Structure 1
Amino acid sequence: MGRMDERIAIVTGAGRGIGRGIAEKLAAEGATVVATDVDGDTARDTAAALGGSAVGLATDVADRASVDETVADVRARFGRIDVLVNNAGWDKAGPFVDSDPADWDKVIRINLYGVLHTSKAVLPIMAEQGGGRVVNLASDAGRVGSSGEAVYSAAKGGVIAFTKTCAREMARHRIGVNCVCPGPTDTALFAEFAGDDPKLREALTRAIPLRRLAQPEDLAGAVAFLASDEAAYITGQTLSVSGGLTMS
Protein backbone atom coordinates (compact mmCIF):
# COMPACT_ATOMS: atom_id res chain seq x y z
CA MET A 1 0.00 0.00 0.00
CA GLY A 2 1.31 3.43 -0.97
CA ARG A 3 0.49 6.57 0.98
CA MET A 4 -1.02 8.09 -2.18
CA ASP A 5 -3.19 5.12 -3.17
CA GLU A 6 -6.45 6.07 -4.92
CA ARG A 7 -5.46 9.75 -5.02
CA ILE A 8 -5.90 11.76 -8.21
CA ALA A 9 -3.00 14.20 -8.52
CA ILE A 10 -2.45 17.00 -11.04
CA VAL A 11 1.17 18.06 -11.55
CA THR A 12 1.77 21.11 -13.76
CA GLY A 13 4.97 21.50 -15.76
CA ALA A 14 5.42 17.72 -15.52
CA GLY A 15 7.01 17.26 -18.94
CA ARG A 16 10.56 17.50 -17.63
CA GLY A 17 12.80 18.45 -14.73
CA ILE A 18 11.39 18.88 -11.24
CA GLY A 19 7.80 18.38 -12.43
CA ARG A 20 8.58 15.04 -14.01
CA GLY A 21 10.45 13.97 -10.87
CA ILE A 22 7.41 14.88 -8.76
CA ALA A 23 5.06 13.00 -11.11
CA GLU A 24 7.27 9.90 -10.89
CA LYS A 25 7.38 10.04 -7.09
CA LEU A 26 3.62 10.50 -6.65
CA ALA A 27 2.95 7.64 -9.06
CA ALA A 28 5.41 5.43 -7.19
CA GLU A 29 3.48 6.24 -3.99
CA GLY A 30 0.27 5.01 -5.64
CA ALA A 31 -1.33 8.16 -7.05
CA THR A 32 -3.00 8.39 -10.44
CA VAL A 33 -1.09 11.29 -11.97
CA VAL A 34 -2.36 13.83 -14.47
CA ALA A 35 0.81 15.29 -15.98
CA THR A 36 0.27 18.66 -17.62
CA ASP A 37 2.70 20.78 -19.60
CA VAL A 38 2.52 23.59 -22.13
CA ASP A 39 4.37 21.09 -24.37
CA GLY A 40 1.73 18.39 -24.65
CA ASP A 41 4.16 15.87 -26.16
CA THR A 42 6.36 15.95 -23.07
CA ALA A 43 3.30 15.66 -20.80
CA ARG A 44 2.19 12.59 -22.71
CA ASP A 45 5.73 11.18 -22.58
CA THR A 46 5.72 11.51 -18.79
CA ALA A 47 2.31 9.82 -18.54
CA ALA A 48 3.44 6.99 -20.83
CA ALA A 49 6.54 6.43 -18.69
CA LEU A 50 4.41 6.34 -15.52
CA GLY A 51 1.97 3.82 -17.02
CA GLY A 52 -1.18 2.73 -15.22
CA SER A 53 -3.97 5.28 -15.40
CA ALA A 54 -1.63 8.28 -15.80
CA VAL A 55 -2.74 10.91 -18.30
CA GLY A 56 -0.74 13.60 -20.09
CA LEU A 57 -2.53 16.81 -21.09
CA ALA A 58 -1.36 19.92 -22.93
CA THR A 59 -2.11 22.85 -20.62
CA ASP A 60 -0.90 26.43 -20.59
CA VAL A 61 -1.14 27.58 -16.97
CA ALA A 62 -0.86 31.20 -18.12
CA ASP A 63 -4.17 30.78 -19.99
CA ARG A 64 -7.15 30.47 -17.66
CA ALA A 65 -9.35 28.88 -20.35
CA SER A 66 -6.72 26.18 -20.94
CA VAL A 67 -6.55 25.45 -17.21
CA ASP A 68 -10.34 25.33 -16.86
CA GLU A 69 -10.57 22.91 -19.77
CA THR A 70 -7.96 20.61 -18.24
CA VAL A 71 -9.57 20.63 -14.80
CA ALA A 72 -12.99 19.88 -16.32
CA ASP A 73 -11.40 17.00 -18.28
CA VAL A 74 -9.78 15.55 -15.13
CA ARG A 75 -13.02 15.78 -13.18
CA ALA A 76 -14.94 14.11 -16.01
CA ARG A 77 -12.41 11.27 -16.21
CA PHE A 78 -11.81 10.61 -12.53
CA GLY A 79 -14.64 12.30 -10.62
CA ARG A 80 -12.33 14.03 -8.13
CA ILE A 81 -9.02 15.86 -7.61
CA ASP A 82 -7.15 15.09 -4.40
CA VAL A 83 -3.76 16.71 -4.98
CA LEU A 84 -2.64 19.76 -6.95
CA VAL A 85 1.06 20.43 -7.44
CA ASN A 86 1.72 23.84 -9.00
CA ASN A 87 5.19 23.30 -10.43
CA ALA A 88 5.15 25.02 -13.86
CA GLY A 89 7.59 27.90 -14.02
CA TRP A 90 9.83 29.94 -16.30
CA ASP A 91 12.55 32.55 -16.02
CA LYS A 92 15.01 34.55 -18.08
CA ALA A 93 18.21 35.74 -16.41
CA GLY A 94 19.55 39.26 -16.46
CA PRO A 95 19.84 42.50 -14.47
CA PHE A 96 16.45 44.12 -13.84
CA VAL A 97 17.49 47.48 -15.34
CA ASP A 98 18.26 45.73 -18.64
CA SER A 99 15.11 43.60 -18.67
CA ASP A 100 12.35 43.67 -21.28
CA PRO A 101 8.88 44.41 -19.86
CA ALA A 102 7.48 41.78 -22.25
CA ASP A 103 9.50 39.22 -20.31
CA TRP A 104 8.05 40.55 -17.03
CA ASP A 105 4.60 39.69 -18.33
CA LYS A 106 5.63 36.17 -19.30
CA VAL A 107 7.37 35.51 -15.98
CA ILE A 108 4.40 36.76 -13.94
CA ARG A 109 1.78 35.03 -16.11
CA ILE A 110 3.46 31.64 -15.79
CA ASN A 111 4.84 31.76 -12.24
CA LEU A 112 2.12 33.71 -10.42
CA TYR A 113 -1.01 33.78 -12.56
CA GLY A 114 -0.47 30.10 -13.33
CA VAL A 115 -0.89 29.29 -9.64
CA LEU A 116 -3.93 31.57 -9.39
CA HIS A 117 -5.58 29.95 -12.41
CA THR A 118 -5.17 26.36 -11.24
CA SER A 119 -6.09 27.19 -7.65
CA LYS A 120 -9.26 29.01 -8.74
CA ALA A 121 -10.31 25.96 -10.75
CA VAL A 122 -9.35 23.22 -8.29
CA LEU A 123 -9.96 24.60 -4.77
CA PRO A 124 -13.78 24.68 -5.10
CA ILE A 125 -13.72 21.02 -6.20
CA MET A 126 -11.60 20.06 -3.19
CA ALA A 127 -13.90 22.04 -0.88
CA GLU A 128 -16.93 20.21 -2.28
CA GLN A 129 -15.14 16.88 -1.68
CA GLY A 130 -14.32 17.85 1.89
CA GLY A 131 -10.55 17.93 1.56
CA GLY A 132 -7.42 17.96 -0.54
CA ARG A 133 -3.75 18.89 -0.62
CA VAL A 134 -2.09 21.68 -2.61
CA VAL A 135 1.67 22.06 -2.93
CA ASN A 136 2.93 25.20 -4.64
CA LEU A 137 6.51 25.34 -5.92
CA ALA A 138 7.96 28.77 -5.23
CA SER A 139 11.71 29.42 -4.96
CA ASP A 140 14.27 30.58 -2.46
CA ALA A 141 14.55 33.55 -4.85
CA GLY A 142 11.14 34.57 -3.46
CA ARG A 143 12.41 34.33 0.13
CA VAL A 144 15.87 35.91 -0.04
CA GLY A 145 16.16 37.38 -3.56
CA SER A 146 18.43 36.25 -6.37
CA SER A 147 20.61 38.46 -8.57
CA GLY A 148 19.43 38.35 -12.16
CA GLU A 149 15.97 37.12 -11.19
CA ALA A 150 14.17 40.24 -9.94
CA VAL A 151 10.74 39.70 -11.51
CA TYR A 152 10.89 35.94 -10.98
CA SER A 153 11.71 36.62 -7.30
CA ALA A 154 8.72 38.97 -7.10
CA ALA A 155 6.40 36.38 -8.65
CA LYS A 156 7.65 33.58 -6.40
CA GLY A 157 7.35 35.84 -3.35
CA GLY A 158 3.75 36.28 -4.42
CA VAL A 159 3.30 32.51 -4.54
CA ILE A 160 4.59 32.21 -0.96
CA ALA A 161 2.16 34.87 0.30
CA PHE A 162 -0.72 33.42 -1.74
CA THR A 163 -0.02 29.98 -0.26
CA LYS A 164 -0.37 31.31 3.29
CA THR A 165 -3.65 33.08 2.57
CA CYS A 166 -5.13 30.07 0.76
CA ALA A 167 -4.12 27.91 3.72
CA ARG A 168 -6.06 30.22 6.05
CA GLU A 169 -9.12 30.43 3.81
CA MET A 170 -9.31 26.72 2.97
CA ALA A 171 -8.51 25.22 6.39
CA ARG A 172 -12.22 24.90 7.27
CA HIS A 173 -12.61 22.71 4.19
CA ARG A 174 -9.75 20.43 5.34
CA ILE A 175 -7.55 21.54 2.45
CA GLY A 176 -3.85 21.81 3.26
CA VAL A 177 -1.87 24.35 1.22
CA ASN A 178 1.91 24.43 1.51
CA CYS A 179 4.89 25.74 -0.40
CA VAL A 180 8.20 24.14 -1.39
CA CYS A 181 11.11 26.42 -2.32
CA PRO A 182 13.78 24.71 -4.41
CA GLY A 183 17.32 25.96 -4.39
CA PRO A 184 19.46 25.57 -7.55
CA THR A 185 18.38 22.33 -9.21
CA ASP A 186 20.15 20.37 -11.93
CA THR A 187 17.54 20.50 -14.73
CA ALA A 188 17.36 21.46 -18.38
CA LEU A 189 15.78 24.78 -17.35
CA PHE A 190 18.76 25.50 -15.09
CA ALA A 191 21.12 24.76 -17.99
CA GLU A 192 19.17 27.17 -20.23
CA PHE A 193 19.04 29.80 -17.50
CA ALA A 194 22.75 29.54 -16.66
CA GLY A 195 23.78 29.13 -20.29
CA ASP A 196 25.29 25.86 -19.03
CA ASP A 197 28.16 27.94 -17.62
CA PRO A 198 30.49 25.56 -15.74
CA LYS A 199 31.90 28.43 -13.67
CA LEU A 200 28.44 29.40 -12.42
CA ARG A 201 27.63 25.77 -11.66
CA GLU A 202 30.89 25.39 -9.75
CA ALA A 203 30.39 28.62 -7.80
CA LEU A 204 26.87 27.61 -6.81
CA THR A 205 28.01 24.15 -5.79
CA ARG A 206 30.70 25.66 -3.57
CA ALA A 207 28.13 27.96 -1.93
CA ILE A 208 25.79 25.07 -1.04
CA PRO A 209 26.74 23.42 2.28
CA LEU A 210 25.87 19.96 0.93
CA ARG A 211 28.18 20.70 -2.04
CA ARG A 212 25.86 19.71 -4.87
CA LEU A 213 22.93 21.03 -6.87
CA ALA A 214 19.55 19.54 -6.07
CA GLN A 215 18.23 16.71 -8.21
CA PRO A 216 14.52 16.55 -9.10
CA GLU A 217 14.05 13.61 -6.71
CA ASP A 218 15.25 15.79 -3.81
CA LEU A 219 12.25 18.06 -4.38
CA ALA A 220 9.89 15.20 -5.15
CA GLY A 221 10.28 13.65 -1.69
CA ALA A 222 9.33 16.89 0.05
CA VAL A 223 6.34 17.43 -2.25
CA ALA A 224 5.11 13.85 -1.80
CA PHE A 225 5.24 14.24 1.99
CA LEU A 226 3.27 17.51 1.94
CA ALA A 227 0.74 15.95 -0.46
CA SER A 228 0.16 12.99 1.84
CA ASP A 229 -1.96 12.40 4.95
CA GLU A 230 1.27 12.38 6.98
CA ALA A 231 1.19 16.17 6.58
CA ALA A 232 -2.48 16.47 7.60
CA TYR A 233 -1.65 18.92 10.40
CA ILE A 234 0.76 21.01 8.31
CA THR A 235 -0.61 23.97 6.37
CA GLY A 236 0.56 27.42 5.34
CA GLN A 237 4.22 26.41 5.60
CA THR A 238 7.19 27.21 3.36
CA LEU A 239 9.89 24.54 3.12
CA SER A 240 13.22 25.26 1.46
CA VAL A 241 14.92 22.30 -0.21
CA SER A 242 18.25 23.88 -0.97
CA GLY A 243 21.05 21.79 0.51
CA GLY A 244 21.43 24.43 3.21
CA LEU A 245 22.03 27.33 0.80
CA THR A 246 19.33 29.26 2.66
CA MET A 247 18.38 28.61 6.24
CA SER A 248 15.49 30.04 8.24
Structure 2
Amino acid sequence: MRRPTGRAAREPGGAVVTGAGRGLGRRIAGLLVARGHRVLLTDRDGDSARAAAEELGGAATALAVDVRDQGQVEAARDAALDLAGRLDVWVNNAGVLVTGPAWEQDEATRRLMIEVNACGTINGTVAAIDAMRGNGGGHVVNVVSLAGLTAVAGEAVYAASKHAALGFSLSTMADLRVAGVRDIRISCVCPDGIWTPMLHDKLRDPRSALSFSGRLLTPEEVADAVRRVLDRPRPVTSIPRWRGALSRLADAAPTAGLAAIPLMAARGRRVQRKILAGGGPRAGK
Protein backbone atom coordinates (compact mmCIF):
# COMPACT_ATOMS: atom_id res chain seq x y z
CA MET A 1 0.00 0.00 0.00
CA ARG A 2 1.25 3.47 -0.86
CA ARG A 3 1.53 5.68 2.19
CA PRO A 4 0.40 9.31 2.06
CA THR A 5 3.07 11.95 1.65
CA GLY A 6 1.50 14.37 4.14
CA ARG A 7 -0.35 17.65 3.69
CA ALA A 8 -1.41 20.56 5.82
CA ALA A 9 -3.76 19.25 8.47
CA ARG A 10 -6.48 21.80 7.68
CA GLU A 11 -6.66 21.00 3.97
CA PRO A 12 -9.31 18.39 3.15
CA GLY A 13 -7.85 15.10 2.03
CA GLY A 14 -9.35 12.19 0.17
CA ALA A 15 -12.70 10.52 0.78
CA VAL A 16 -14.28 7.24 -0.32
CA VAL A 17 -18.00 6.53 -0.59
CA THR A 18 -19.18 2.99 -1.36
CA GLY A 19 -22.46 2.32 -3.12
CA ALA A 20 -22.21 5.82 -4.59
CA GLY A 21 -23.65 5.23 -8.04
CA ARG A 22 -27.10 6.47 -7.10
CA GLY A 23 -29.40 7.39 -4.24
CA LEU A 24 -27.96 8.17 -0.83
CA GLY A 25 -24.36 7.33 -1.75
CA ARG A 26 -24.47 9.80 -4.63
CA ARG A 27 -25.78 12.51 -2.27
CA ILE A 28 -23.08 11.85 0.31
CA ALA A 29 -20.39 12.01 -2.38
CA GLY A 30 -21.75 15.40 -3.46
CA LEU A 31 -21.65 16.61 0.14
CA LEU A 32 -17.99 15.60 0.47
CA VAL A 33 -17.05 17.28 -2.82
CA ALA A 34 -18.73 20.46 -1.55
CA ARG A 35 -16.63 20.22 1.62
CA GLY A 36 -13.46 20.26 -0.45
CA HIS A 37 -12.50 16.58 -0.51
CA ARG A 38 -11.20 14.65 -3.48
CA VAL A 39 -13.83 11.92 -3.57
CA LEU A 40 -13.64 8.39 -4.94
CA LEU A 41 -17.11 7.04 -5.73
CA THR A 42 -17.27 3.25 -5.74
CA ASP A 43 -20.06 0.95 -6.80
CA ARG A 44 -20.37 -2.60 -8.05
CA ASP A 45 -21.95 -0.97 -11.11
CA GLY A 46 -18.94 0.90 -12.44
CA ASP A 47 -20.96 2.72 -15.11
CA SER A 48 -23.29 4.30 -12.55
CA ALA A 49 -20.33 5.32 -10.38
CA ARG A 50 -18.59 6.94 -13.36
CA ALA A 51 -21.75 8.77 -14.40
CA ALA A 52 -22.22 10.12 -10.87
CA ALA A 53 -18.56 11.20 -10.69
CA GLU A 54 -18.86 13.04 -14.00
CA GLU A 55 -21.85 14.96 -12.66
CA LEU A 56 -19.86 16.02 -9.60
CA GLY A 57 -16.93 17.39 -11.58
CA GLY A 58 -13.15 17.24 -11.39
CA ALA A 59 -12.93 16.62 -7.63
CA ALA A 60 -14.68 13.26 -8.07
CA THR A 61 -13.55 10.05 -9.70
CA ALA A 62 -14.97 6.53 -9.83
CA LEU A 63 -13.96 2.91 -9.48
CA ALA A 64 -15.94 -0.31 -9.84
CA VAL A 65 -15.70 -2.07 -6.47
CA ASP A 66 -17.47 -5.08 -4.98
CA VAL A 67 -17.21 -4.42 -1.24
CA ARG A 68 -17.29 -8.16 -0.54
CA ASP A 69 -13.83 -8.46 -2.10
CA GLN A 70 -11.11 -7.28 0.28
CA GLY A 71 -8.62 -6.84 -2.57
CA GLN A 72 -10.97 -4.52 -4.46
CA VAL A 73 -11.63 -2.50 -1.31
CA GLU A 74 -7.90 -2.13 -0.69
CA ALA A 75 -7.46 -1.00 -4.30
CA ALA A 76 -10.05 1.72 -3.64
CA ARG A 77 -8.11 2.78 -0.55
CA ASP A 78 -4.90 3.06 -2.55
CA ALA A 79 -6.64 4.95 -5.36
CA ALA A 80 -7.98 7.48 -2.85
CA LEU A 81 -4.47 7.98 -1.45
CA ASP A 82 -3.15 8.51 -4.96
CA LEU A 83 -5.80 11.17 -5.53
CA ALA A 84 -5.25 13.22 -2.40
CA GLY A 85 -2.19 11.98 -0.54
CA ARG A 86 -4.21 11.40 2.61
CA LEU A 87 -7.51 9.73 3.48
CA ASP A 88 -9.81 11.77 5.73
CA VAL A 89 -13.24 10.18 5.30
CA TRP A 90 -14.55 6.75 4.38
CA VAL A 91 -18.31 6.20 4.13
CA ASN A 92 -19.54 2.60 4.02
CA ASN A 93 -22.89 3.07 2.32
CA ALA A 94 -23.22 0.04 0.04
CA GLY A 95 -26.13 -2.15 1.06
CA VAL A 96 -28.54 -4.83 -0.12
CA LEU A 97 -32.10 -5.46 1.10
CA VAL A 98 -34.09 -8.58 0.23
CA THR A 99 -37.29 -9.02 2.21
CA GLY A 100 -39.04 -12.12 3.49
CA PRO A 101 -38.66 -14.65 6.31
CA ALA A 102 -35.22 -16.24 6.49
CA TRP A 103 -36.70 -19.70 5.83
CA GLU A 104 -38.03 -18.49 2.47
CA GLN A 105 -34.65 -17.17 1.29
CA ASP A 106 -32.04 -19.38 -0.28
CA GLU A 107 -28.50 -19.51 1.00
CA ALA A 108 -27.17 -17.27 -1.78
CA THR A 109 -29.63 -14.51 -0.87
CA ARG A 110 -28.86 -14.71 2.83
CA ARG A 111 -25.14 -14.75 2.15
CA LEU A 112 -25.41 -11.75 -0.20
CA MET A 113 -26.93 -9.53 2.51
CA ILE A 114 -24.48 -10.64 5.19
CA GLU A 115 -21.47 -10.25 2.92
CA VAL A 116 -22.40 -6.83 1.49
CA ASN A 117 -23.93 -5.22 4.57
CA ALA A 118 -21.69 -6.68 7.27
CA CYS A 119 -18.49 -7.94 5.62
CA GLY A 120 -18.45 -4.98 3.23
CA THR A 121 -18.61 -2.61 6.18
CA ILE A 122 -15.81 -4.54 7.90
CA ASN A 123 -13.63 -4.53 4.79
CA GLY A 124 -14.08 -0.79 4.28
CA THR A 125 -13.50 0.12 7.90
CA VAL A 126 -10.33 -1.95 8.17
CA ALA A 127 -8.97 -0.51 4.91
CA ALA A 128 -9.71 3.01 6.11
CA ILE A 129 -8.06 2.46 9.48
CA ASP A 130 -4.96 1.12 7.74
CA ALA A 131 -4.70 4.34 5.72
CA MET A 132 -5.57 6.70 8.58
CA ARG A 133 -3.66 5.22 11.50
CA GLY A 134 -0.46 7.14 12.10
CA ASN A 135 -1.19 9.39 9.12
CA GLY A 136 -3.31 12.17 10.58
CA GLY A 137 -6.37 10.14 11.53
CA GLY A 138 -9.77 10.37 9.93
CA HIS A 139 -13.43 9.51 10.20
CA VAL A 140 -15.27 6.35 9.15
CA VAL A 141 -19.04 6.74 8.76
CA ASN A 142 -21.04 3.52 8.50
CA VAL A 143 -24.57 3.83 7.16
CA VAL A 144 -26.42 1.21 9.19
CA SER A 145 -30.20 1.31 9.70
CA LEU A 146 -32.80 1.33 12.43
CA ALA A 147 -32.91 -2.39 11.57
CA GLY A 148 -29.56 -2.57 13.33
CA LEU A 149 -31.20 -1.53 16.60
CA THR A 150 -34.25 -3.75 16.95
CA ALA A 151 -36.38 -6.55 15.48
CA VAL A 152 -37.82 -6.01 11.99
CA ALA A 153 -40.45 -8.39 10.66
CA GLY A 154 -39.86 -9.36 7.04
CA GLU A 155 -36.19 -8.32 7.20
CA ALA A 156 -34.58 -10.81 9.57
CA VAL A 157 -31.36 -11.44 7.66
CA TYR A 158 -31.05 -7.78 6.70
CA ALA A 159 -31.49 -6.85 10.37
CA ALA A 160 -28.88 -9.43 11.34
CA SER A 161 -26.40 -7.91 8.90
CA LYS A 162 -27.07 -4.41 10.25
CA HIS A 163 -26.81 -5.53 13.88
CA ALA A 164 -23.45 -7.01 12.91
CA ALA A 165 -22.34 -3.75 11.30
CA LEU A 166 -23.31 -1.76 14.39
CA GLY A 167 -21.67 -4.16 16.82
CA PHE A 168 -18.50 -4.27 14.73
CA SER A 169 -18.31 -0.48 14.49
CA LEU A 170 -18.68 0.17 18.22
CA SER A 171 -16.34 -2.67 19.16
CA THR A 172 -13.69 -1.47 16.72
CA MET A 173 -14.00 2.03 18.15
CA ALA A 174 -13.36 0.47 21.57
CA ASP A 175 -10.32 -1.38 20.19
CA LEU A 176 -8.92 1.88 18.81
CA ARG A 177 -9.29 3.55 22.19
CA VAL A 178 -7.67 0.62 24.01
CA ALA A 179 -4.79 0.86 21.53
CA GLY A 180 -4.43 4.56 22.31
CA VAL A 181 -5.64 5.71 18.87
CA ARG A 182 -7.73 8.83 19.37
CA ASP A 183 -7.58 10.54 16.00
CA ILE A 184 -9.74 7.97 14.19
CA ARG A 185 -13.48 8.14 14.74
CA ILE A 186 -16.19 5.69 13.73
CA SER A 187 -19.80 6.84 13.54
CA CYS A 188 -22.93 4.85 12.71
CA VAL A 189 -25.84 6.63 11.05
CA CYS A 190 -29.06 4.63 11.52
CA PRO A 191 -31.86 5.99 9.31
CA ASP A 192 -35.46 4.92 9.02
CA GLY A 193 -36.75 4.05 5.54
CA ILE A 194 -35.16 6.24 2.85
CA TRP A 195 -37.02 7.14 -0.33
CA THR A 196 -34.36 5.77 -2.70
CA PRO A 197 -34.50 3.25 -5.56
CA MET A 198 -33.89 0.42 -3.07
CA LEU A 199 -37.14 1.29 -1.27
CA HIS A 200 -39.04 2.19 -4.44
CA ASP A 201 -38.66 -1.43 -5.46
CA LYS A 202 -40.39 -2.57 -2.24
CA LEU A 203 -43.64 -0.65 -2.66
CA ARG A 204 -45.65 -3.72 -3.69
CA ASP A 205 -43.97 -5.98 -1.15
CA PRO A 206 -46.02 -6.31 2.09
CA ARG A 207 -43.05 -7.99 3.78
CA SER A 208 -41.19 -4.67 3.73
CA ALA A 209 -44.08 -2.85 5.42
CA LEU A 210 -42.11 -1.84 8.52
CA SER A 211 -39.80 0.26 6.34
CA PHE A 212 -42.86 2.35 5.44
CA SER A 213 -44.31 2.63 8.94
CA GLY A 214 -42.44 5.81 9.88
CA ARG A 215 -41.83 9.02 7.97
CA LEU A 216 -39.95 8.19 4.78
CA LEU A 217 -36.69 10.11 4.71
CA THR A 218 -35.17 11.82 1.70
CA PRO A 219 -31.55 11.13 0.72
CA GLU A 220 -30.88 14.80 1.42
CA GLU A 221 -32.00 14.44 5.03
CA VAL A 222 -29.71 11.49 5.64
CA ALA A 223 -26.79 13.14 3.85
CA ASP A 224 -27.32 16.14 6.11
CA ALA A 225 -27.13 13.83 9.13
CA VAL A 226 -23.79 12.56 7.80
CA ARG A 227 -22.64 16.18 7.53
CA ARG A 228 -23.58 16.80 11.16
CA VAL A 229 -21.76 13.65 12.28
CA LEU A 230 -18.62 14.72 10.41
CA ASP A 231 -18.76 18.10 12.15
CA ARG A 232 -19.61 16.68 15.55
CA PRO A 233 -18.75 12.96 15.77
CA ARG A 234 -21.13 10.66 17.63
CA PRO A 235 -20.95 6.86 17.86
CA VAL A 236 -24.62 6.32 16.91
CA THR A 237 -27.08 8.73 15.31
CA SER A 238 -30.68 7.65 14.66
CA ILE A 239 -32.84 9.43 12.08
CA PRO A 240 -35.36 10.53 13.14
CA ARG A 241 -34.38 10.49 16.79
CA TRP A 242 -37.81 9.49 18.03
CA ARG A 243 -37.79 6.33 15.91
CA GLY A 244 -34.35 5.51 17.25
CA ALA A 245 -35.58 5.94 20.82
CA LEU A 246 -38.62 3.77 20.05
CA SER A 247 -36.39 1.08 18.54
CA ARG A 248 -34.14 1.01 21.58
CA LEU A 249 -37.15 0.85 23.87
CA ALA A 250 -38.53 -2.10 21.90
CA ASP A 251 -35.16 -3.79 22.13
CA ALA A 252 -35.02 -3.23 25.89
CA ALA A 253 -38.51 -4.73 26.31
CA PRO A 254 -38.64 -7.32 23.52
CA THR A 255 -41.96 -8.89 24.52
CA ALA A 256 -43.76 -5.55 24.25
CA GLY A 257 -41.79 -4.60 21.15
CA LEU A 258 -42.69 -7.79 19.32
CA ALA A 259 -46.34 -7.37 20.27
CA ALA A 260 -46.38 -3.91 18.64
CA ILE A 261 -44.87 -5.03 15.34
CA PRO A 262 -48.12 -6.24 13.68
CA LEU A 263 -49.71 -2.83 14.32
CA MET A 264 -46.74 -1.01 12.83
CA ALA A 265 -46.65 -3.38 9.86
CA ALA A 266 -50.35 -2.72 9.21
CA ARG A 267 -49.63 1.00 9.21
CA GLY A 268 -46.77 0.47 6.77
CA ARG A 269 -49.00 -1.49 4.39
CA ARG A 270 -51.54 1.35 4.43
CA VAL A 271 -48.79 3.78 3.49
CA GLN A 272 -47.64 1.51 0.66
CA ARG A 273 -51.17 1.42 -0.74
CA LYS A 274 -51.54 5.21 -0.49
CA ILE A 275 -48.26 5.81 -2.31
CA LEU A 276 -49.25 3.37 -5.05
CA ALA A 277 -52.53 5.22 -5.34
CA GLY A 278 -50.65 8.43 -6.06
CA GLY A 279 -50.30 9.85 -2.57
CA GLY A 280 -46.52 10.39 -2.82
CA PRO A 281 -43.80 9.28 -0.39
CA ARG A 282 -45.27 11.33 2.48
CA ALA A 283 -48.63 9.60 2.22
CA GLY A 284 -50.12 8.81 5.59
CA LYS A 285 -47.53 10.83 7.50
Q: CA deviation at 1:128?
A: 2.1
Counterpart residue number, 1:50: 56
Q: Is the 8 A contact 2:14 2:85 kept in 1?
A: no
* Amino acid aligned to 2:76: T
2:20 aligned residue (14, 17, 25): 14
Write out aligned runs for 1:79-228 (5 A): 79-171=85-177, 172-173=180-181, 174-192=183-201, 194=202, 196-197=203-204, 207-208=213-214, 212-227=215-230
* Amino acid aligned to 2:48: T
TM-score by length of 2: 0.76
Q: Is the 8 A contact 1:133 1:226 kept in 2?
A: no
Counterpart residue number, 2:263: none
C-alpha spacing 1:125/1:199, structure 2 compared with 1 (3 Å)? closer
Q: Is the 8 A contact 2:18 2:41 kept in 1?
A: yes
Q: Distance in 1 between matches of 2:100 and 2:205?
A: 18
Q: Deviations over 1:104-124 (max 9, x none)?
A: 111111001101111222202
Which has the bigger relative contact order, CA under 8 A and spacing at least 6? 1
C-alpha spacing 1:201/1:110, structure 2 compared with 1 (3 Å)? closer
**Unmatched 5+ residue regions in structure 1?**
none
Secondary structure class of the residue paired with 2:21: coil
Q: Deviations over 1:208-242 (max 9, x none)?
A: 2xxx3100011101112222xx32xx45x211114
Count how many residue pairs are aligned between Structure 1 and Structure 2: 234
Q: Deviations over 1:34-78 (max 9, x none)?
A: 111000111111111111321111111011111112212222232
* Amino acid aligned to 1:181: C
Q: Is the 8 A contact 1:62 1:114 kept in 2?
A: yes
* Amino acid aligned to 1:240: S
C-alpha spacing 1:185/1:122, structure 2 compared with 1 (3 Å)? same
In angstroms, what is the RMSD of aligned CA positions? 2.2
Question: Does residue 77 of structure 2 align to residue 74 of structure 1?
Answer: no
Q: Is the 8 A contact 2:153 2:210 kept in 1?
A: no
Secondary structure class of the residue paired with 2:74: helix
Counterpart residue number, 1:238: 236
Q: Deviations over 1:78-135 (max 9, x none)?
A: 2211001000000111112212111111111100110111122220210121310011
Q: Is the 8 A contact 1:183 1:243 kept in 2?
A: no
Range 119-128 or range 156-165, more displaced: 119-128
Q: Distance in 1 between matches of 2:241 and 2:209?
A: 15
Counterpart residue number, 1:63: 69
* Amino acid aligned to 1:197: R
Matched-pair identity in %: 35
Structure with max Cα Rg:
2
Range 101-110 or range 170-179, more displaced: 170-179
Secondary structure class of the residue paired with 2:87: coil
**Unmatched 5+ residue regions in structure 2?**
1-9, 249-285
C-alpha spacing 1:223/1:239, structure 2 compared with 1 (3 Å)? same
Q: Distance in 1 between matches of 2:134 and 2:14?
A: 15
Q: CA deviation at 1:244?
A: 3.5
Q: Is the 8 A contact 2:155 2:208 kept in 1?
A: no
* Amino acid aligned to 1:138: V
Q: Distance in 2 between matches of 1:7 and 1:77?
A: 9
Q: Is the 8 A contact 1:38 1:58 kept in 2?
A: yes
